[in-house]
Chain A
Amino acid sequence: GENVEQHPSTLSVQEGDSAVIKCTYSDSASNYFPWYKQELGKRPQLIIDIRSNVGEKKDQRIAVTLNKTAKHFSLHITETQPEDSAVYFCAASIDTGFQKLVFGTGTRLLVSP
């Protein structure tokens, strides 16, 4: 089955710096890659997603890139702010007729003022 690895497990940056979180997946049939942000004690919230027919997607300060050949995808956050501090999860899904997301283990991002 699909396996998703995520790095780093923790990431500390200064406010205004960029942050990059990387994920790799094992199943080349995966075709949907969402990213979720989870604040302490709250539900995971979808922040951006990308499909396998697209190489890059951007939404304001957040961007995601996908390299299907290498089977890895990355989340880029520019001009980080303290409110970006949270745990970020990547996930991958194979379209087997329904969405069955396999999540990475999470990256705890800390943005210091």
Chain B
Amino acid sequence: NAGVMQNPRHLVRRRGQEARLRCSPMKGHSHVYWYRQLPEEGLKFMVYLQKENIIDESGMPKERFSAEFPKEGPSILRIQQVVRGDSAAYFCASSPGTATNYGYTFGSGTRLTVV
């Protein structure tokens, strides 16, 4: 089991560019969660998706951020027109179901640096 795979591990973008972060859940997992960790802070929930559906995006900034989890392929977190404040580590987690019987397994994260 390869675990939750995220790529790229490190991403550098200039202000105004777009950032695309990818997350492949563990085999058999159809639920994906994205969290953001600002430097020296805890993780903050962004969005929860199931295949082809956004279930809860209450933690997503209203503008520039979007997420998808298509029927085929990885989940994508997309940040348009990046700004310095978007610099953070973005972690994805997956679970096989919705009940709180499973601890999250996080991927290794994508560290976004906006210059």
Contacts and interface: CB of A to CB of B under 8 A. Distances in A.
Given A43-B108, A46-B104, A97 B98 contact: yes
Interface stretch (A13-21, A63-71, A73-81, A99-107): A99-107
Listed residue (A6, A93, A103) with the most chain B CB atoms within 10 angstroms of its CB: A103
A99 B43 contact: no
Overall SS of chain A's interface: strand
A89 B43 contact: yes
Interface of B: 31, 33, 35, 40-45, 48, 55-56, 91, 95, 98-100, 102-109
Given A97-B98, A100-B45, A101-B45, 18 more contacts: A6-B42, A42-B108, A43-B106, A43-B107, A44-B106, A46-B105, A49-B103, A89-B42, A91-B43, A93-B100, A95-B99, A95-B100, A99-B98, A101-B43, A101-B104, A103-B44, A105-B42, A106-B41
